[in-house]
Amino acid sequence: CIPPMAPPTCLDNITGQNGIVQVVVDTAEKKTKSTGLLDADEFRRQSHQVVDLISEYYDRMGDYPVHPSVTPGFLRNLLPPDAPFRPEPDAFSSALKDVRDIILPGLTHWQSARHMAHFPASSSTIGALGEALTAGINVVPFTWAASPAATELEMLVVDWLGKALHLPDSLLFAGGGGGTLLGTSCEAILCTLVAARDRKLAEIGGNRICDLVVYCSDQTHFAFRKAARIAGILRDHCRAIPTCHHNMFALSPTELEAAMQADVDAGLVPLFLCATLGTTQTTAVDPIGQLCAVTAPHGVWVHVDAAYAGNALVCPEFTEVIDGVEAVDSFSMNAHKWLLANNDCCAMWVKKPSALVAALGPEQDLILKDAASEGHNVVDYMDWTMTLTRRFRALKMWLVLRCYGIQGLRDHIRNHVRMAEAFEKMVKADERFEVVTDRKFALVCFRLRSQDKFGGADKQPANRLNRRLLEEVNAATSGPYMSSATVGGMFILRCAIGSTLTEDHHVSDAWKVVQDQATIILHD
Amino acid sequence: CIPPMAPPTCLDNITGQNGIVQVVVDTAEKKTKSTGLLDADEFRRQSHQVVDLISEYYDRMGDYPVHPSVTPGFLRNLLPPDAPFRPEPDAFSSALKDVRDIILPGLTHWQSARHMAHFPASSSTIGALGEALTAGINVVPFTWAASPAATELEMLVVDWLGKALHLPDSLLFAGGGGGTLLGTSCEAILCTLVAARDRKLAEIGGNRICDLVVYCSDQTHFAFRKAARIAGILRDHCRAIPTCHHNMFALSPTELEAAMQADVDAGLVPLFLCATLGTTQTTAVDPIGQLCAVTAPHGVWVHVDAAYAGNALVCPEFTEVIDGVEAVDSFSMNAHKWLLANNDCCAMWVKKPSALVAALGPEQDLILKDAASEGHNVVDYMDWTMTLTRRFRALKMWLVLRCYGIQGLRDHIRNHVRMAEAFEKMVKADERFEVVTDRKFALVCFRLRSQDKFGGADKQPANRLNRRLLEEVNAATSGPYMSSATVGGMFILRCAIGSTLTEDHHVSDAWKVVQDQATIILHD
């Protein structure tokens, strides 16, 4: 259904030609004879086996227990201790058989309709094939020159995505900022923190790194604390401001202000705030606008980690959670979590790309520019991040946006939110249970109520009860797979709806398993 | 040719059962109805289009100029400024058409047989399909529990690979060390540097980061300097020891010793040495054993960055370059460069994984352990690296090793080395040219000799000549694509053989282009 490949064209943005110019290619050149390792026919043959395997895996996903029943070390006993010297005959078929028989059964099936434990890694066929295409093409776009179309598509697609998520122009290339696609939010947080750190040190003196202080809440993902440690911030200069249940575990601007002032009074220098949209434990939303008002007088860089909830911003009904986002310095979200862009795909936007380049770019001119890019202010993405080698992730993200459309992505998000609402309703209808925090997106945090009729302060008995409940739920082979968190001293269960394959009946079935297990436990 | 998928099995390492136990799965469970976004039939249909596109791309690779003739901004004019709200009819076919007509022609074709510029990103069909399979399965193995078989296969495959590369047992799991698969060497360098830093700071005091000094040569990849900056090492505490031509640009142990002693005398603390096997500019090899002898008394962490040349260690004839490697603390190489494991795949090994975990692991127990892993000393790979989300890269690396075998990988490397030898011989046979550094692997560094018959000290005229030569070579549409370096004040041309598709005639044709352009330039 696609016409045969046209002769290669050479693109150039010559005015009036709409960018397309035909170029004479020396057709006398010998037709490339493949070595067998990258042979088109071999690729076709092997591809069909892979397509069969993946298709069957999707078809049979419901048959697997979400979480395998294996113990550490199981695989080492099933495979030889050394790579083969010569491959066995038809090694690829035989390896794929092992994938089916040994590896797949030992995986946690993140794509299972009953995977409700972690925030999702919601797959799509387009996302998977975008990755396949990227791997097949296999370019390394570390600079513009190293693969111009890859850099340019990335610049385009981060603007597409940023607009789709209702981000302000100031974070887009179209408005003087700009974005990039990384592997994970951990990288985004580290890159922006290093940019902020070097900007601040340039101001106060390069050897004052031990005076810098960074801020987050006690709900912030530990990725931030890890990034701060990597960046050389003293371990006891990372302030995790306590949150509380009555404030739904959101970071309090008043508490933050007090902490920053105390540090300033002690001669320290506030550097960076990592605010979260949708914390891992309960999807708490930090009030961005109010926090920025507090940090501004201190010249603090504000980064928003919207790894999970940033995906929901594709739906206008969620954009109230980014009120005030115009004031932030940077923003990141994982499109591989909930926007059908298979792992990995973290989008990061910054207001001032120059700060990233100052910290992560070259200290002197390198040899990697080519004649075409010289004299142009091109984006060399390796100067925005910590790595040189990078993958052409933009192709996948562009395919996902183009093939599902903004409407398709909204439907996907809303479908899960609707199912989470239904689950929440079922929890609320059973008086043995309580919903612990208001559901905002597609995570429901719930628990068995304390059995202490007098509301005793000791949370341990109820925690033990709920821990046991989770273990029993997850032990049911054909049941859901859920996870837990501990907030405000309470052990809670997390039901995160977000697998692409999850449908209403999976949610009601999951709740039935929880109820049944609760009945057994409470009877004991 | 693969039998239909067997019913899912549940693996466990119960003694005497060889790890395989059949488990009853509730077959009454409703067959998962796909939502369309992850539908097996849709996946098959779309896959065939992608397979066609990639196969044709491989077939037609020789028709593309290696480096496109485009100017910055060309792509933005060819694609709409916003993502579609609703996808167009048959959006996937139409998007793939744009990939063919707009994106592919704007890429630098790293897989072209005539790509001789950068170190290769040598593709294979197995590497590409390993990535495709990984993306299709789409698990997120940040902990053992989050996907047991993914972690265990990674542990196995880094041992397979380490043994294949003749690394010492002390770096393998089998010998008390261990490895992991990351995206890039930049990550490996940063992770090991942070581990070394935190170990040293624990010894000398946490607030002495400004006293730490790191070492490399003036040939070391700038990734190291960048990693040191990210890790908070003062910019002027990164010592790039000068190298010289007569020593083939290798790091001198004597010079290193002097630099470290000077720092110690100044009250500073030597922390880390990044030695290189196969520098980017000329594939210089730092003498690992001798360097370790010098660093040992100072308690310096030695990391070996073997991003490129580490691949060649699969051939026993190259292992002399790692004499003394038993003494290093860590080692990394990019299997995506030259071992047919498509981008990205960096293997990192450390002697003491506990140092990584101390720096990058959790400061308190997290919620991510499950019942099966509790009480076991499992590897949670997120504690070894800077990121939480990671990809199941082990599957690809395992397939490559299994399907090509060690012999196949040796043939692949030796084939390129042989072609580089041939190129070197041709350069040497033309008295207008000189080979600048002894070829060790598959990179030939050469230049037009200075035209100054009296051997004048001014290198600029010869440099201008060679710069022009490179520009003319790369401007030839059907010619090779080469790159340059500047060493010892000399501008040199780099011819890096390593594309999977490169054959003898590409190398002789490339040399012909260089000779012809030289004749024209010298005539002028």
A59 within domain boundaries: no
Q: Do A101 and B139 touch (CB under 8 A)?
A: no
Q: Do A407 and B79 touch (CB under 8 A)?
A: no
**A198, A344: one domain:** yes
A464: domain CATH number? 3.90.1150.10
Given a cut of 70, is residue B370 above it in pLDDT?
no
Chain A CB contacts of B370 under 8 Å are 67, 474
Helix, strand or coil, per DSSP, at residue B124: coil
Position A33 scores a pLDDT of: 38
Position A457 scores a pLDDT of: 72
**A306, A186: one domain:** yes
B378 within domain boundaries: yes
C-alpha A209/C-alpha B347 separation (Å) is 31
Q: What is the pLDDT along chain A (524 residues), one digit of tens a residue?
A: 344 444 443 333 322 233 332 233 333 333 333 458 999 999 999 999 999 999 999 999 999 999 999 999 999 999 999 999 999 999 999 999 999 999 999 999 999 999 999 999 999 999 999 999 999 999 999 999 999 999 999 999 999 999 999 999 999 999 999 999 999 999 999 999 999 999 999 999 999 999 999 999 999 999 999 999 999 999 999 999 999 999 999 999 999 999 999 999 999 999 999 999 999 999 999 999 999 999 999 999 999 999 999 999 999 999 999 999 999 999 999 999 999 999 999 999 999 999 999 999 987 654 445 556 666 679 999 999 999 999 999 999 999 999 999 999 999 999 999 999 999 999 999 999 999 999 999 999 999 998 765 556 788 999 999 999 999 999 988 999 999 999 999 999 999 999 999 999 999 999 999 999 999 999 98
B461 within domain boundaries: no
Determine the average pLDDT of the residues in B443-456: 82
- pLDDT tens, B278-327? 999 999 999 999 999 999 999 999 999 999 999 999 999 999 999 999 99
**A439, A378: one domain:** no
Surface of B (348-387) touching A: CB under 8 A: 359-360, 362-363, 366-367, 370-373, 376-378, 386-387
| Cis omega (within 30 of 0) for bond into B344 | yes
Given a cut of 80, is residue B213 above it in pLDDT?
yes
- pLDDT tens, B108-144? 999 999 999 999 999 999 999 999 999 999 999 999 9
Which chain A residue shows the shortest CA-CA distance from B2? A93
Q: Do A232 and B197 touch (CB under 8 A)?
A: yes
> Which one of A343, A369, A391 terminates a domain?
A391
C-alpha A412/C-alpha B90 separation (Å) is 19
Where does residue A3 rank: exposed (0-12), middle (13-18), buried (19+ CB within 10 A)? Answer: exposed
**A156, A243: one domain:** yes
Q: Do A37 and B389 touch (CB under 8 A)?
A: no
Q: Do B129 and A50 touch (CB under 8 A)?
A: yes
pLDDT band of B362, cuts 50, 70, 90: confident
**A382, A474: one domain:** no
Please name which of A360, A428, A341, A396 lies closest in space to residue A154, comparing C-alpha atoms: A396
Q: CA of B83: how far to CAs of A129, A167, A316, B223, in Å?
A: 19, 14, 15, 35
Give the minimum alpha-carbon distance from B294 to chain A in angstroms, rounded to a whole number. 27
B152 and chain A: CB distance < 8 Å anywhere? yes
B428 and chain A: CB distance < 8 Å anywhere? no
Chain B CB contacts of A83 under 8 Å are 160-161, 163-164, 401-402, 405-406
Which chain A residue shows the shortest CA-CA distance from B415? A35
B443 and chain A: CB distance < 8 Å anywhere? no
Strands A301-305, A330-334: pairing kind? parallel
Give the minimum alpha-carbon distance from B333 to chain A in angstroms, rounded to a whole number. 12
Give the minimum alpha-carbon distance from A494 to chain B in angstroms, rounded to a whole number. 12
Please name which of A322, A302, A340 lies closest in space to residue A127, comparing C-alpha atoms: A340
Given a cut of 70, is residue B35 above it in pLDDT?
no
A282 within domain boundaries: yes
* Residue A484 bridge partners (DSSP): A493
Chain B CB contacts of A339 under 8 Å are none
The full 3-state SS of A351-373, as one line of letters, equals: CCHHHHHHHHCCCCCCCCCCCCC
Quick one: tokens of A90? 């038809």
Across the interface, which of B25, B139, B227 has its CB nearest the CB of A65?
B25
Q: Do A148 and B74 touch (CB under 8 A)?
A: yes
> Which one of A363, A391, A419 terminates a domain?
A391
Which alpha helices (H) appear in A231-350, and where do they start and end? 253-265, 288-295, 335-338
ipTM of the complex, rounded to two decimals = 0.93
Chain B CB contacts of A108 under 8 Å are 139, 145-148
**A335, A469: one domain:** no
Across the interface, which of A18, A58, A87 has its CB nearest the CB of B40?
A58
A132 within domain boundaries: no
Q: Could you tell me the pTM of the whole model?
A: 0.93
Position A28 scores a pLDDT of: 35
Given a cut of 50, is residue B33 above it in pLDDT?
no
Instruction: Give backbone dihedrals phi and psi of A27, rounded to 5 degrees, phi first.
Output: -75, -10
B53 within domain boundaries: no
Position B15 scores a pLDDT of: 28
Position B372 scores a pLDDT of: 60
**A278, A362: one domain:** yes
Domain that holds residue B240: 133-404
**Number of domains chain A is built from:** 2
Q: Do A183 and B8 touch (CB under 8 A)?
A: no
Chain B CB contacts of A44 under 8 Å are 51, 55
B448 and chain A: CB distance < 8 Å anywhere? no
C-alpha B348/C-alpha B302 separation (Å) is 13
Give the minimum alpha-carbon distance from B372 to chain A in angstroms, rounded to a whole number. 6
Contact, B333 vs B167, CB < 8 A? no
**A409, A387: one domain:** no
B284: domain CATH number? 3.40.640.10
B176 within domain boundaries: yes
Quick one: tokens of B16? 């005497």
Please name which of A92, A98, A82 lies closest in space to residue B126, comparing C-alpha atoms: A92
A308 within domain boundaries: yes
Across the interface, which of A41, A62, A183 has its CB nearest the CB of B31?
A62
Please name which of B507, B519, B495 lies closest in space to residue B432, comparing C-alpha atoms: B519
Which residues contact residue B62 at a Cβ distance below 8 angstroms, ignoring those fewer than 6 apart? A29, A30, A31, A32, B112, B113, B114, B501
b/e burial code for range A256-285 (CB count within 10 A of at least 16 → b): bbebbeebeeeebbbbbbbbbbbbbbbbbb
Q: Do A230 and B227 touch (CB under 8 A)?
A: no
Quick one: tokens of B472? 């003319």
C-alpha A211/C-alpha A234 separation (Å) is 8
Rg of the Cα trace of chain B?
A: 26
